Every structure is written in C-alpha cells, then in structure tokens.
Amino acid sequence: MPANVPTYASLFADHARRLSQTHLRTLIADAARGARLRHRAGPLLLDLSRQKLDMRALDALGAQLEASSWEAARDAMFAGEPINTSEDRAVLHTALRAGASSMPSPAPAGARREIEATLERIGQLVDAIHGGQQAALGLPDTVTDIVNIGIGGSDLGPRLAVAALAPFRTPKVRSHFLTNVDGQAAYDLITRLDPKTTLVVIVSKTFTTQETLLNGNVLRGWILEACNGDEREVARHFLAVSANTEVAGSWGVPLKQIFPMWDFVGGRYSLWSAVGLSLALAIGTQGFRAVLAGGARMDDHFRSAPWQENLPALLALVEIWNRDVLGYPTRGVVPYADLLGDLPSYLQQLEMESLGKSVTPQGQPVGQPTVPVVWGSVGTNAQHAYFQALHQGTEVVPLDLIGIVNPAHPLHGNHDALLSNLLAQAAALALGKTTEEALAENPAGGPTLAAQRTFPGDRPSSVVLLDALTPESLGALIALYEHKVFLLGHLWGINAFDQWGVELGKSIARQILPALRGEQSDVPPLDAATCALIGAIHERRT
C-alpha cells in the first residue's frame, strides 16, 4: 500500500479497539464463528478460530481484499505477465505444476512445453538411476549417494521435502545436502562418502553463488583425486541445475547433464522445477509428480474459491491483522512433526526474502510494517525451550501450529501424545488461566504465587492439519504458503519476487576476502570496524 493510502492499522483501528475488550475465551465459544474460520482444501484443514478476530473484522478485511483487485493480480501471475517488475520477469512457478491442474493453464505454451520436456528428462534420469542403468547416460557405474550442493532456494526446498517425505524414499540411493560455505560440512561429507559412487547435483540458478561454487570445487577436487586426475571420469559424477548453462558447462558439467532453470522461476519458488531433482531422486518420479499435483490442487483452490473459503487468502488476511493492525513483529512456525523440522527455515526464506521490503515498485515507502520475523522449530521440543515466554512473556507471538492426523509410523501412542500437545498449546495460549483460577487451584500459595501461575491467554494461533504427510499434502502445504506470500505482496504493494536486499552483504564479502587473506587488491578501503576485526583475526590466527 503506497504511502498516500491509509494504513491497515488505521483502516481497522475500530475493529481492533472493539476486540481488545473481548477475550479469545469468549470469541472461541461462538460456534458459528468457529465454523466460518475453519476451512478445508483437499488434505489440509486450516483452523483460524483462535485468531483474535470476529466476523465483523474478518468481513472488513475481506472487503479490503475484494477492493484490491486481488483476483486480477492472481490471474496476471498465473498468465505469466511480468509482475516481477524490478527484473522485468514473469513469475511462473505455478506453471511448473500446471500439468496436474484440473483448470486450464493460462501460462504461455512455450514455457509449458519446456517445463514438460524437463520433467520428462528428470523422469528418465531418475528411472535410470533407480534401475542401475545410469552408466548408459554417461554417469558413474554405481551410484550410492547423491549430494545436492546449493543454498537458499537451491537447497531449502529439496532439503525440506526430502526430509519430510523420508517414509517415501527409495533405499537405492542416499541423499545429502551441502549448503553452507563452512568447510566443516564439506569435510564431513568427503570423509564419509565414497567418491567413486557419489553423484553431485550442483543447483544454482545463477551459477555464480560463492558458497555453492566453493563447495562444488571441494567435491570436484575430491572426486578428481579418486579418479587419478581423469577429468572425463570426474565429469560423470556431476549434474547441474541452472539458468546459466554456459557457465555451468565451462565449470565442467557436460551439457547433457545440465537441467534448466528459467528466469520466470525465483529460487525460493523453485522446488517444483529441476531444482527438485534431488527430491525426485529420493522419492522417484511418481512421488515427485505427486508433489506437483498437490501444489496444483492448491493452485486450483486459490484460483476458484471465494476469499471466505480460500485458505491462502484467509492466511494473508490474518497476517495483515496480526502484523499491521495488532502490531505483532514476529510469527512462530511450530510443526508438530520431526519430518517437518525444516519447514521453519523454508518459510523464513519464502516469506522474509519475498516480503522483507519497505519500498514499493514505484520507489515509495510502503508506510506500514511488512513481513514479520518468521522463526520456529518442532513441537514438542519447542514447548520445553521457549513456550514459557509465549505463554507468560511480555511479547505476543502469533503461531502457526502444524500437525499431521495420520502418522507414517505405527507408534500411535506417541502420535496421540504429540497431537494432544499441539491442541493443548493452542488452547492454553488462547484461553489462559485467570488469577482466580490459579488461586482456586492452589490456595496455599496465596495471591503471590497465583499471580505467577496466571496465564493471560488471548494469544493467537492458527492450526493447519494435514490428513497425512504425503507428497500431495506437502505440495499443497508449500503452495498454500506461496500463495499467501503472493497475496501479502499484493496487499502491501511490494514486489515479492526480487531480493535486492541480499546484494550489499555479498559485495562487501567480496571486498573483505582479499584483505582477510592478506592479498593486495584494488577494492575501496574497508571501514574502521571491519579493519579492526580483520586485524584481530590476523593476530590470533595460528
């Protein structure tokens, strides 16, 4: 929303004032309200009944959404209009899964053809490796381990999905992810794996990312040594996924082993493309296509459901409410599933890299808060770490609590305990415990202890329940958040598809590196604080 337009805080101030008088205990008791705030899309149930909203506030938010021409904006994205204006690019991650959609795709036919051809290639490669036939494609005779090297969007999506879908993984290959430039990670891998049977997938849209190329070089050197310096043999161990085919080729990956990325797919939206190669290798072509199908079903829902039942729209409106109207600066993501342990990091990039902007595409200040800080970790572990502060601390942190109805394992006793904890936390945060209740529970402690055993409650959370954690439901879950992000970009009037904010640190790191190494360079002089720390590092270096 450009600066000359009223902020959401001012637009909805009356609703916030009215609701400040009503505790969530009262709001939750209204069954009709609950029914309007619980909606299903395929395998996902979204329960927003513990958000600090009543129907009047929700309808006012919805009216604002309707007035924003969100459907036209959504359709423009699906059709491939260049909505990423600062880079003059289309935003077509939805086209990557359009083949599984039950609605006609408005994406350009050329893009859809390239996407389908790439999916075919992925399928052939995966089937060959799973069938032990990869030597015919010029790859090593035996492949036991796949190492995905990439960072950000070239790591987080496949990493999340490979972990989440562990029960669907083939035993034929093991998956590894190498991302940070911290040499410890690369060193650990090369001391564990057999270079002769390792296949490396270098994933980098730009093929210029420092971390990825450094790690790629380490693994290249390791395999080269094992191959007695035979460059042709080394090349058999590398696949690449990149929009920069030329540089990937000159780096040493044979052209036939390079899979395309496109400028119409942003890194953090790219799991559905060949960036998901490691996932396809882990769960097979059918599984990978099922992830796409889950995403496509969420696309269909997003394109067809009225906002009142539209999961991404409702999530976006709740975020506007919590962030802009109630002013909460952070949001916690707590999956009650070890398999979804990487979801908070994944959503951090998806949401914070997309929406961490304060200027509109017209170069004007946004004029109101945008993305909250997204953080979190798995429940129940989180309960034993920071939930104390969430219940009784001075900050209110809205939570997304994510649970799975049917586990992939037979230990139902554990699973019931896990789910009961999720439900209990949502209830405790919302209901709280009054001082009177605390006193009645433990009269001997008197009012002093009762005050300390009081829970204010009135703390909001959303619950997302997946029927089961499958390729389809994971695809739907990721697409749900993608569309929420899209809508928030639209509602805040910012471009959710560029990331200029990552550039400055990268370029300063390039300037610092020679100084750290004590090399001569013609970069501009570094600031005094940085020079002092470089000096301190030099002093103590052994």
Ligand X SMILES: O=P(O)(O)OC[C@H]1O[C@](O)(CO)[C@@H](O)[C@@H]1O
Residue at token pair 């609590």: 401
* Span from 111-119, 202-210, 297-305, 387-395 in contact with ligand X (CB under 6 A): 202-210
> DSSP characters for 463-525?
EEEEEE--HHHHHHHHHHHHHHHHHHHHHHT--TT--GGGHHHHHHHHHHHHHHTT----SPP
Round the CA-based radius of gyration of the chain to a whole number and report it: 25
Cα distances from 483 to residues 50, 266, 489, 530, in angstroms, run 22, 14, 10, 40
506 noted as active-site residue: yes
- List the end-to-end C-alpha distance of the chain, in Å, as a whole number: 53
Using CB under 6 A as the binding criterion, the count of chain residues that bind ligand X stands at 14
109: three-class secondary structure by DSSP: helix
Q: Is 206 in the site for ligand X (CB under 6 A)?
A: yes
CB atoms within 10 A of CB 231: 10
Find the binder of ligand X among 134, 209, 310, 348 (CB under 6 A).
209
CA distance 308 to 14: 21
Find the binder of ligand X among 140, 153, 376, 493 (CB under 6 A).
153
Catalytic residue, chosen from 319, 353, 472, 482, is 353
Nearer to ligand X, 152 or 287 (CB): 152
Q: How near is the Cβ of 268 to ligand X at its closest, in Å?
A: 6
Q: Is 297 in the site for ligand X (CB under 6 A)?
A: no
Read off the tokens for 100: 């599984």
Question: Which has the closest alpha carbon to 47: 358, 338, 405, 377?
Answer: 405
CA distance 478 to 497: 16
Question: Which has the closest alpha carbon to 432: 28, 18, 45?
Answer: 28
Q: How near is the Cβ of 355 to ligand X at its closest, in Å?
A: 13
Give the residue closest to ligand X by C-beta.
267
Catalytic residue, chosen from 384, 409, 503, 539, is 384
Q: Is 205 in the site for ligand X (CB under 6 A)?
A: yes
Q: Is 216 in the site for ligand X (CB under 6 A)?
A: no
384 noted as active-site residue: yes
Find the binder of ligand X among 268, 297, 459, 483 (CB under 6 A).
268
Nearer to ligand X, 268 or 357 (CB): 268
Q: How near is the Cβ of 179 to ligand X at its closest, in Å?
A: 10
x/- track of binding to ligand X for residues 500-529 (CB under 6 A): --x---------------------------
Find the binder of ligand X among 212, 278, 345, 495 (CB under 6 A).
212
Find the binder of ligand X among 267, 287, 372, 471 (CB under 6 A).
267
Q: Check if the beta carbon of residue 80 is closer than 8 Å to that of residue 265.
A: no
Sheet holding 145-149, edge to edge: 174-178, 145-149, 198-203, 238-242, 258-260
Q: Is 273 in the site for ligand X (CB under 6 A)?
A: no
Q: How near is the Cβ of 386 to ligand X at its closest, in Å?
A: 27
Active site residues: 353, 384, 506
The residues of the shown chain that bind ligand X, judged by CB under 6 A, are: 151-154, 204-206, 209, 212, 267-268, 353, 499, 502
